[in-house]
Amino acid sequence: MPAPALLPRFRGRLHDPRTATVVGRLLGLAILVCFLTGVISHYLQEPPTWLSPHLPTRPASGYRVTQGLHVISGIAAVPLLLVKLWTVYPRLFEWPPVRSVAHALERLTIAVLVAATLLELFMGLLNTIQWYAWPFSFREVHWALAWVIIGSLLLHLAVKTPVILANWRRMPAERTESPESSEFPEFREPELRDEVDRRSLLLGLGTAVGAVTLFTAGQSVTPLKDLALLAPRDPDVGPQGLPVNRTARAAGITDDAIRDWRLRVEGPDPYELTLDELRAMPQHRVELPIACVEGWSKSAHWEGVRIKDLLARAGLPDGARLRIVSLQRRGGYGVTEMDHPYTRDDLTLLALRLNGDTLAPDHGYPARIIAPNRPGVLQTKWVTKLEVLT
Ligand SMILES: Nc1nc2c(c(=O)[nH]1)N[C@H]1C(S)=C(S)[C@@H](COP(=O)(O)O)O[C@H]1N2
Ligand SMILES: [Mo]
């Protein structure tokens, strides 16, 4: 069947399987890193019951690294995906559009893969600038789409294995040793010309990936912080040198609530403490990062009382599973849960001080949680009650 005259014809030489393979490999690597670090983030933030008693609290900065990588690889995937789509988009106009059932299914898989990946990256990017413009839960949809992407990607790779293998290595261009071919580029072998063009394309792509990475990675990679011109967050900007996601005012923390503040610990031997009584308990100093899911992170010095000591005082010397309740009355993350590995860890504090001073109101005054290898969203501020869960 001849193709309708209206269909565009493509003469550009980089819409070929070799270019698609080379770019696809890099994109695949970015997606793999993004997926694995995303799985880690998901399970640290919302562990299923069977996993929650086994979460590792070391390395203490683990989440800072994995979530930093998650956002870095996601951002790098944007130019990679755009170039990959440019390389293969003439396939959209293939004729006939469907050759067999298998071919129809293959095209459908690719449609799902492309749509899901575009939406996933776009949602993620908006999340890093704290724009939750969705009528649905960001986290649930981001998580579900990740599996759609991995499933359709594996199918895509399986179908394309022969093409990928055939193009994995550069074809040695079969030279016909004629003297003109080396002196006059226009007489060179077509394969050789393509290789030169492909190198230019990859150089441009590499520059784009390098630039977006270099100009954003500094929000979590401290040595690059002065280059983070495109990063939504400057890790240095905020009270006590630390960014703030939700301010005390936004969380509805009133002066009255703070004036009457007590810490209540509910366990076998429940008790209440005033701030002065808490300050009279043994204080410990730790250096731990706040690592936000949105990709910024910053290390700080915290001082306060070990959660372990507070639980021992309530008759639970080995730690316990906790519900942590904050003064916050509206919005998410006012109530969080913390399992054994964290509550018995020496580094997990109910922090009263940050970088040498009393906590700023926006950082959770009078008291907040700080724990190792823990997503920022679970480092609860304005804590007022610790409830033992059984
Ligand atoms: N009660 C409460 N605690 C909270 C939040 C919140 O919204 N409410 N935000 C969390 C998030 S998303 C992050 S990244 C950290 C930020 O801590 P910081 O503002 O002290 O830097 O606090 C966490 N603690
Ligand atoms: Mo966060």
Work out which ligand 1 atom sits closest to the CA atom of 294. Answer: 14
pLDDT of residue 176: 47
Distance in angstroms (rounded) separating the CA atoms of residues 361 and 358: 9
Question: Residue 249, class by beta-carbon neighbours within 10 Å (0-12 exposed, 13-18 middle, 19+ buried)?
Answer: exposed
Query: Domain locations in the chain?
Result: 17-227, 239-388
Lowest-pLDDT range of 126-135, 283-292, 293-302: 126-135
Helix axes 190-214, 62-88, angle to 10 degrees: 150
H or E stretch at 358:
strand 357-358
**CA-closest candidate to residue 339, choices 65, 45, 66, 37:** 45
Evaluate the CA torsion angle 132, 133, 137, 140 in order and state its sign: negative
Hey, which residues does 389 pair with through a beta bridge?
321
Residue 28 in this model has a pLDDT that exceeds 80: yes
Ligand 2 centre distance from Cα of residue 297 (Å): 9
pLDDT of residue 185: 52
Residues 47, 72, 39: CA angle, nearest 5 degrees = 20
CATH architecture of the domain with range 239-388: Alpha-Beta Complex (3.90)
Averaged pLDDT, 51-75: 98
Residue 330 in this model has a pLDDT that exceeds 80: no
H or E stretch at 143:
helix 138-167
H or E stretch at 31:
helix 17-45
Ligand 1 contact via 333 beta carbon (within 6 Å): yes
Ligand 2 centre distance from Cα of residue 292 (Å): 4
Residue 345 in this model has a pLDDT that exceeds 70: yes
pLDDT of residue 181: 46
Q: Which amino acid type is present at position 323?
A: R
* DSSP, residue by residue, 213-229: HHTTGGGT-GGGGGG-T
Q: Which of 377, 383, 385 maximizes ligand 1 atoms within 8 Å of its Cβ, making it the mutation to test the pocket?
A: 377
Residues 247, 249, 255: CA angle, nearest 5 degrees = 125
pLDDT of residue 188: 56
Distance in angstroms (rounded) separating the CA atoms of residues 312 and 86: 61
Distance in angstroms (rounded) separating the CA atoms of residues 323 and 343: 11
Cβ contacts of 46 within 8 Å, gap of 6 or more: 139
Averaged pLDDT, 155-181: 78
Hey, which residues does 272 pair with through a beta bridge?
264
In this prediction, residue 180 has a pLDDT band, given cuts at 50, 70 and 90, of very low
Q: What is the 3-state secondary structure (H, E, C) of 65-113?
A: HHHHHHHHHHHHHHHHHHHHHHHHHHHHHCCCCCCCHHHHHHHHHHHHH
Ligand 1 contact via 63 beta carbon (within 6 Å): no
Average pLDDT, the chain: 93
Asked whether 333 and 380 are in contact (CB, 8 A), the reply is yes
pLDDT of residue 329: 79
**CA-closest candidate to residue 358, choices 240, 256, 241:** 240
Distance in angstroms (rounded) separating the CA atoms of residues 346 and 372: 10
Evaluate the CA torsion angle 180, 186, 188, 192 in order and state its sign: positive
Averaged pLDDT, 195-218: 96
Indicate the Cα dihedral angle 324, 328, 330, 332, nearest 10°: -40
pLDDT of residue 104: 96
pLDDT of residue 3: 85
Q: Residue holding tokens 């070799």?
A: 18
pLDDT digits (tens, 9 = 90+) for 210-256: 999 999 999 999 999 999 999 998 999 999 999 999 999 999 999 99
**Which residue has the CA at smallest separation from atom 19 of ligand 1?**
244
236 DSSP 8-state letter? T
Ligand 1 contact via 380 beta carbon (within 6 Å): yes
In this prediction, residue 39 has a pLDDT band, given cuts at 50, 70 and 90, of very high
pLDDT of residue 173: 54
Ligand 2 is an ion; its neighbours by CB within 5 Å are: 245, 292, 376-377
- Say what the pTM is: 0.94
Work out which ligand 1 atom sits closest to the CA atom of 354. Answer: 20
Averaged pLDDT, 303-323: 96
Ligand 1 contact via 242 beta carbon (within 6 Å): yes
Averaged pLDDT, 121-145: 94
